[in-house]
Structure 1
Amino acid sequence: MEYKTLKEAAEKWGVTPRSVNYYCAGERISGAVKMACIWLIPKTAEKPIDGRKKQRRCRKHETI
């Protein structure tokens, strides 16, 4: 399996390396492994959904 570093994942996903570190530590990236002090992320891994933001549903406005 091919891996990318924390910094490479951060650049690809448009977030900070610290955010990717939180994703890895929280087990939100499947297949991420920690070797010594370095997180290795699979090249095929997708960016997890940010849990701080709610997903809104579009509602049609009712007319009277």
Structure 2
Amino acid sequence: MDYMTLKEASEKWGISSRQVNYYCVEGRIPGAVKIAGVWLIPKDAEKPIDGRRKNIL
């Protein structure tokens, strides 16, 4: 399985690397693992839905 770093995920999803870190800590990214203090995220992982916002149409 291929992995990407927090920085790569943040660039791919258009959010800050800090927000990606929060998603990892909260367990919201399936398959994310922390090895030697570095989060590794599967390349095929989907961006979690931001629960702070509501979609108003």
- Which has more radius of gyration? 1
Q: Runs in 1 of length 4+ with deviation above 3 angstroms? A: none
RMSD: 0.9
Structure 1 length-normalised TM: 0.84
Structure 2 length-normalised TM: 0.94
Aligned length: 57
Higher relative contact order, structure no. (Cα contacts within 8 Å, ≥ 6 residues apart):
2
- Residue identity over aligned pairs, in percent, reads 67
**Structure 1 unaligned blocks of 5 or more:** 59-64
**Structure 2 unaligned blocks of 5 or more:** none
Shift of 1:19: 0.2
